[in-house]
A and B are shown apart, each in its own frame.
Chain A
Amino acid sequence: MANDAIVAIATAPGRGAIGVVRVSGPHLAPFLLALVNKVVIARHATRADFRNADGGLIDQGLVLYFPAPHSYTGEDVIELQGHGGPVVMQLLVARCVELGARLAEPGEFTKRAFLNDKLDLAQAESVADLIDATTAEAARCALRSLQGDFSRQIDAMVSDLVGLRILVEATLDFPEEELDVLDNSNTQGKLAAVREQLARVIETSRRGSLLRDGIHVVLAGQPNVGKSSLMNRLAGSARAIVTDIPGTTRDAIRETIAIQGIPLHLIDTAGLREPQDEVETIGISRTWEAISEADLVLWVSDMTRPETHDIDPTLAGRLSLGVRYLHVLNKCDLMPPSSGGGQADHVSKVHISALTGVGIEQLRNSVLDIMGWSGGSETTFMARARHMQALKSAQNHLDAALLCVGRLELFAEELTLAQRALSSITGEFTADDLLGEIFSRFCIGK
């Protein structure tokens, strides 16, 4: 019963040498041709170049084509096997979206398989659970994506767009009310303002997206717990000066590393304590700046000094909702063997030794886990990708609106569609809600 094509990354992101992007939908043959520009024999592995719209090479890999009904979902299915890095996978997904597929809803491939009688009843039992679980996960991811500035900017934009729609719809539905609202207000200027805002949100959220910029990880803790040693261990080089003297690190030191292809920006910071001099004061204030921009804070403590374990109360207070933190207990090599390294406690605590390297692999995995880059198919990144897709759809409609400023009902149509796209991010906005806004703004009623 589905009549549109869906796409998603089928393999766990960030892991493995091979990654698979899967597309399902009716009549995918033209889609496939546009994607790989060669004839693909059904159910044969075919080597292909995956190119973007400009012809630039995204990746080389294998393509598999399963025509309906002999496929996982019972529809036409295409599998693109590329190199496993998340950047390549995301670019492939983006290309498929460009060609008309939409990002799959949580559990949607399985749902389609089920609806097309591809699963037996026992398997089907789990479909509802899957939808339930992935929806909950997707909701959590969407919430994370919506934290901070991104959400504020979208809210501001939606409210301006609603403001413009009120004027347009009131003019259409209440022509006899002496409103003349459109004559007295600068429609084009208002549209231009919303378009500018939208372009800005798209630009900043692109810049802020994990894919492009990686995860900002701040190493924080009391002085001399081994933050700089950990930094050097993770970076694999003596990037930061390490001494036994507390307060050696005065300024935030930055280093970019990659864990399984995902860029990580490490920021080593001055230890948090009462500053001893002016240089340290500035260093500590930069620590706070770094923390305020962080996606993840590693709170490093010295296992031999329990007084360093408790997270700084100021820091705990400053961690905004979206920022997660991980407690890294360093110097486990100095502890009795029973408290050995690498132990993880629900990924919120990792025991390591920056000196010997024990537990560092576990730490790397914990960082990815906690940032939503492993496990199921729903990640913060996917949530953000959905939001970006909605923003771009809104942008297309606002561009179209610009072309029909003089033709009011077409103008209204494009604004409505733009708002519908944004509402998929911010929540439903019904015709009744709009009328409510109109009635509260204007005195309607002869």
Chain B
Amino acid sequence: MQFSESFDVIVVGGGHAGTEAALASARSGRRTLLLTHNVETLGQMSCNPSIGGIGKGHLVREVDALGGAMAAATDEAGIQFRILNSSKGPAVRATRAQADRLLYKHAIRTRLENRRNLLIFQQSVADLTLDGERVAGVVTELGLRFSARAVVLTTGTFLSGLIHVGLKNYQAGRAGDPPSISLALRLRELKLPVGRLKTGTPPRLDGRSIDFSKLTEQPGDTPVPVFSFMGSAAQHPAQMPCWITHTSAHTHDIIRAGLDRSPMFTGVIEGIGPRYCPSIEDKISRFADKTSHQIFLEPEGLTVNEYYPNGISTSLPFDVQCNLVHSITGLENVHITRPGYAIEYDYFDPRGLKSSLETKAIQGLFFAGQINGTTGYEEAAAQGLLAGINAARLAAGEDAWCPRRSEAYLGVLVDDLITRGVSEPYRMFTSRAEYRLSLREDNADLRLTEIGRTLGIVDDARWCRFETKRAAVSRECERLRTSWVNPRIVARHECERVVGQALEREYTLQDLLRRPAVTYETLMTLPGAGPAVGDAQVAEQVEIQAKYQGYIERQQVEINRQEAYEMTRFPAGLDYREVHGLSIEVQQKLNKHRPETLGQAARISGITPAAISLLLVHLKRGFSDAKKIA
């Protein structure tokens, strides 16, 4: 049966990618349908109950700066907030929060249900309908046909999902949910380049049976951090601590004794797992000399007793899981509420995507999240947002928005995926960003909110708040730049107190703030330096901009240098065999991956600077030829 209404955009999947995609598309003003196999699991955190962290927090802030839901939902659901790397510098500083699963789901669902232009429908998608090489809609398991100009697939681990516990395995999308088998088969038929990845999760524990008296408490930060640029600590529910314990040599013995029944070590699992998030059996095998591993016990929520033991993800048989958990301090008598497991799933080589996240093979079909070989809620949300924006733009006949590596972690993420592909589930790290000093959590709004406004996805409230902040920052920077401190007027001991030494000549307040030892707060206590701005976000921005000015300017020079390459687009249908002088290997690589710009081509491994010069000459020649004919 054909569903009566036609949509601009259909989003398949209701996880972190799907919900951001649906919200972004609807915010863009496009008629959007979110299809999920189960409305109750919209916004579900399938793995650990936490949002953010190094690199990931950066992505969450960027999603927020573009009007996305993740940071705001975390502010409403977060039961512990911390700032990581607080002493290591603003660029690597990142927010991390434990979230109450139920509150988080509630916060997301509330946003979805109240979003104008967005409909939700519960049905598993079994097939795509195509019109030549462009997508026309989807077909559900019941045979309902929905038509749309663009479709975003955010299928997570559901495509041919296979769960392993010991040597037992069964098909599932995640524990308790059915897999997507027919859709996976259909996508394989479309000749998209498919691969298998693996991820895992630990057994969950009943908090009533944990002996907390033996554990180290890890409280959140005070004052309590806030995630969203629009958020406040007043939105946070009651706060809870995490707890720290360790595995022992005995734990490791138990694990080693169970390896003969491990699906990982017996070769039953073919998919590749992430090296930075290994199972406990992997950790003790690869780092055999380490006698103990740290485990964080993370509360799952205010109204449930479950704890998530972060650090012992495992697919060992359940009896081994029980023994290993019971060998850990504080968990001697713990009751396991859910077994740990590994899951294998299909992903598609992201080198088959454009930087808009549209597939190169099928027009109007977008992929976001784990289907692209990434891992993590934050990576998924960021891609979902981008895919949602661009699906909406495609439906409206507008050009895609593709953030650059120099603009956002979102740009780094997508560019890494489409130019280098993945060899394991891809996770964001700050070391992946060559312009790390410019891509900070604190300036995500300054980098992106204006773009978001232009794209039509930033609402009036956010825009108004942003403009106020931006104006205040530039006003205060200007004041510091033009206010002089004269050592003959300001008392010597005051200068020594604030600056650490006497001043030998006049300096501007900005000069003084650039010194490593001087903070904005102390500087404002210098007689005549005030008044300080009241907004802490503004003060922070003023201080960072002053201190990092030299570095940021240097990065800007480099960014400008690369700009021309990023702007140079290859014509559609360019046959690289016709590019004079390119080696066969380079021709094949380029013909296979078909980069969109010269900048992307340069980042494909094995593409040399000389090859880029040759491409440049070829493009220029084509242009000259065309001009001549015209």
Contacts and interface: CB of A to CB of B under 8 A. Distances in A.
A240 B117 CA distance: 97
Contact of B294 (A2, A406, A435, A446): A446
A427 B556 CA distance: 25
Nearest to B310: A446
Nearest to A107: B613
Contact of A128 (B90, B290, B551, B581): B581
B580 A439 contact: no
Interface stretch (A14-22, A154-162, A165-173, A218-226): A165-173
A431 B431 contact: yes
A111 interface: yes
B91 A409 contact: yes
Nearest to B54: A173
Interface residues of A, number: 49
A108 B612 CA distance: 12
Contacts of A124: 617, 620-621, 624
Contacts of A98: none
Nearest to A441: B287
A432 interface: yes
A373 interface: no
A173 B55 contact: yes
Given A409-B92, A446-B296, A172 B560 contact: no
Nearest to A406: B516
B130 interface: no
Interface in B605-625: 605, 608-610, 613-614, 616-618, 620-621, 624-625
Contacts of B434: 416, 431
A60 B313 CA distance: 73
A1 B561 CA distance: 9
B436 interface: yes
A240 B548 CA distance: 66
Contacts of A434: 431
Contacts of B516: 406-407
Interface in A1-42: 1-4
B431 A413 contact: no
Interface stretch (A113-121, A309-317, A336-344, A383-391): A113-121
B53 to A, nearest CB: 8
Given A128-B580, A409-B88, A445-B278, A4 B561 contact: yes
A132 B436 CA distance: 35
Contacts of A407: 89, 516
A52 interface: no
Contacts of B625: 121
A128 B617 contact: yes
Interface in A70-116: 105-108, 111, 114-115
Given A173-B55, A446-B296, A446-B311, A131 B614 contact: yes
Contacts of A121: 621, 624-625, 628
B430 A172 contact: yes
Nearest to A436: B275
A172 B617 contact: no
A245 interface: no
A443 B290 contact: yes
A406 B581 CA distance: 49
A190 B564 CA distance: 38
6 contacts: A3-B564, A117-B624, A175-B54, A408-B89, A430-B605, A435-B276
- The 10 A-B pairs with the shortest beta carbon distances in the complex, nearest first, are A409-B89, A135-B610, A1-B564, A443-B287, A132-B581, A128-B580, A439-B275, A128-B581, A408-B88, A446-B310
